[in-house]
Amino acid sequence: MTVEIKLSHTAAMILQTISSGTIYGFGIMERTGLPSGTVYPALRRLERDALIRSEWEKQSIADKEMRPPRKFYKMTPAGKTTLLAMMKRYPLLERLGAMDEVKTV
Amino acid sequence: MTSLLLYRMALRLVACAVPRALRAEWVAEWESELWYIAESSASRGEITAFCWGAVEDARSLRQMHLVAPVRAAGSAWACVGWVVGLAVVSFGLAQALPRVRLASTSPVYRSSTDSVLISSGEAKTGSMIPLLRVRAWQRRRQHLFTEFAFYAPLVRTVRTEMETTRPLALARASGNMLRMLGVPVLFAQEPRGVEPVLVLSQSAWHRDFGGSEAVFGQVVKVGAQRVRIGGVVPDEAAPAGGRIDGWILLPETETLPETTDVYLVGRLAEGATMRGPQWEMTVPGVDGDVYYSCRILPALRADVWRMYLFAVFLALLALPATTSLSLGEYAARPVNLHWVATLRRWVFLVTKIACAMPAIYFAGLIAAYAMHSTSPYTPQYIQLVTTFGLTLFALRWSLRDQRRRCPVCLGRLTCPARVGEPSRNFLAWNGTELICADGHGFLHVPEMATSWFSTQRWLHLDPSWSGLFMGPVEGTRVT
């Protein structure tokens, strides 16, 4: 038996943003316009509920580009199912524009 | 660059509010994101907003991890600290209260053991005798007594230079009275002038003279008579009982009228042995034999230390009747505790009791001597009962506390859970199960003692179980 996870509109918006590909925290803030104090805790909750997963960028890549490694977030299958359910609940989510630039790990 | 360093320091500061297990991860992510924000030519306001968001992150994280990890309810150090604190507070209170401070030195009210209170035989013990008879007796050759002293009560006000006191219960006494009784005189003054000496009782000194040491040596008027205040004696000095606020020690007693009724005290001659503490005797008088009733005055002292030891002894006798002396049957699954752990358990128990005993001693003194009592015996009874009760309570608490502690880490066992049902006691057991928060084991306390499970048992867990107890307990909230 699967348990339906209820998300707030903000969390659903973040999940929708992540659904377009791998993305990092600051990118979500830029695209959604949400403050960091909202985005990061929501990311943690989504990750705890296994709707997204995170992984650190390889240190070697970051070192090559002389910048710190980033933490990327990616949708899980459970996240996709939940997002579909949330789309019905929050129809305005679909109006969120497609992502311009998505980095991949 | 400097401002970026400041922002990083701010983030580190905020990270202190994040649960420890998550802190490193969050600091890494914040600092990484901070670098990218700074590189994106964001304004200072945007960077500040990002850092301010970290505060919200920390608050949110704390809420998400509200379920605190199970910890030992009370450490051994905290327990000993509390008991030591109680001892220090009771000691400080005892030192702050003058009566208690005085009592803690085991005051002697009367030290004489060969003084006899002589009363008129026709009346009850402690009645007064006309001075005429006393003088007649003094003139006779003495066999039983070597010395006599007497006092006559009267009520008079005392006039100082500044004011007049309320009417005081005074006693005109022969000069040898206090010395014969062995009454200690505090602030005793050297004899000066021809005035009789007025020795105040402690309560009168405090109540009517403000407890001031400046009054000693002052000449005051008692009625029309000038006297010099010459010291303080315990309230309990009067051999015939009753309240005496001051003793006027007369250097010459010839001026007292012969019709004056006095309390008479005699000192037994050395080698005089009596069959009991009370007897009657006849003395030839001018108009025939006179009957006297005699009673040896016991020494009167408040030996607070002996009283304390006696009360503790009684409490030790009563202890087995009130609680089990066992510290718990820990050998249900034999585990050889390291000798250091065993020693630490015993040291902890002894330390608890050793720290509680001074607290009880001073608490008993405070209860007994903080308030004024008319009888010298009342405070001793109060001290006995208080010390007995507190000692019994402290010993019971020490043993019960010890039984509820993990024998390995001495932490208080937590999470009590009821196990089993009374109806299944034949094949199983029912009672309470407690657990050591550090994972050293379980304590099973049977609710009903049976022949196969009579006392509590300790179930030791080996280190392979430690994984269940380490780390914080995660929250279970749904987004």
For B25-41, how does the pLDDT look when each residue is reduced to its tens digit (9 = 90+)?
Answer: 888 888 888 888 887 76
How many CB pairs (< 8 A) connect A and B?
Answer: 74
| C-beta atoms of B53 and A7 within 8 A | no
Pairing mode, if any, of strands B197-201 and B225-233?
parallel
Domain ranges in chain B are: 2-65, 84-106+302-397, 110-300
Nearest-angstrom CA–CA distance, B233 and B107: 11
User: Average pLDDT, stretch B293-313?
Assistant: 86
Residue B139: per-residue pLDDT: 84
- Any chain B CB within 8 A of the CB of A8? yes
- What angle separates helix B378-403 from helix B339-369, to the nearest 10 degrees? 160
Residue B73: per-residue pLDDT: 59
| C-beta atoms of B33 and A36 within 8 A | yes
DSSP B106-163: --EEE--SSEEEEEETTS-TT--EEHHHHHHHHHSPPSSEEEEEEEEEEEE-EE-SS-
Instruction: Indicate the range of A87-101, B193-207, B268-282, B284-298 predicted with least confidence.
Output: A87-101
Nearest-angstrom CA–CA distance, B74 and B231: 53
Do residues A6 and A82 touch, judged by C-beta distance below 8 A? no
Partners of residue A42 in chain B, C-beta under 8 Å: 479
CA dihedral over A83, A87, A93, A98, signed as positive or negative: positive
Partners of residue A39 in chain B, C-beta under 8 Å: 53
Partners of residue B40 in chain A, C-beta under 8 Å: 26
Nearest-angstrom CA–CA distance, B104 and B383: 12
For B43-58, how does the pLDDT look when each residue is reduced to its tens digit (9 = 90+)?
Answer: 777 788 778 878 877 8
Structure tokens at B135: 């003088």
| C-beta atoms of A37 and B52 within 8 A | yes
| C-beta atoms of B36 and A49 within 8 A | no
State CA B232 to chain mean position distance: 27
For B259-275, how does the pLDDT look when each residue is reduced to its tens digit (9 = 90+)?
Answer: 889 999 999 888 777 77
Do residues A59 and A66 touch, judged by C-beta distance below 8 A? no
For B314-332, how does the pLDDT look when each residue is reduced to its tens digit (9 = 90+)?
Answer: 999 999 988 877 776 655 4
Q: What is the ipTM of this complex?
A: 0.71
Nearest-angstrom CA–CA distance, A71 and A56: 4
- Any chain B CB within 8 A of the CB of A67? yes
Do residues B50 and B34 touch, judged by C-beta distance below 8 A? yes
Q: pTM of whole model > 0.90?
A: no
| C-beta atoms of B50 and A36 within 8 A | yes
* Cβ-Cβ contacts under 8 Å for B302 (sequence gap 6 or more): B103, B106, B107, B109, B376, B379, B380
| C-beta atoms of B479 and A8 within 8 A | yes
Nearest-angstrom CA–CA distance, B324 and B403: 10
For B342-374, how does the pLDDT look when each residue is reduced to its tens digit (9 = 90+)?
Answer: 788 889 999 999 999 999 999 999 998 888 766
Nearest-angstrom CA–CA distance, B148 and B176: 8
For B69-126, how does the pLDDT look when each residue is reduced to its tens digit (9 = 90+)?
Answer: 555 557 888 888 999 999 999 999 998 887 788 777 766 777 778 888 888 876 555 6
Under the banding of pLDDT at 50, 70 and 90, the label for residue B449 is confident
Low-confidence residues of chain A, pLDDT below 50? Answer: 1, 97-105
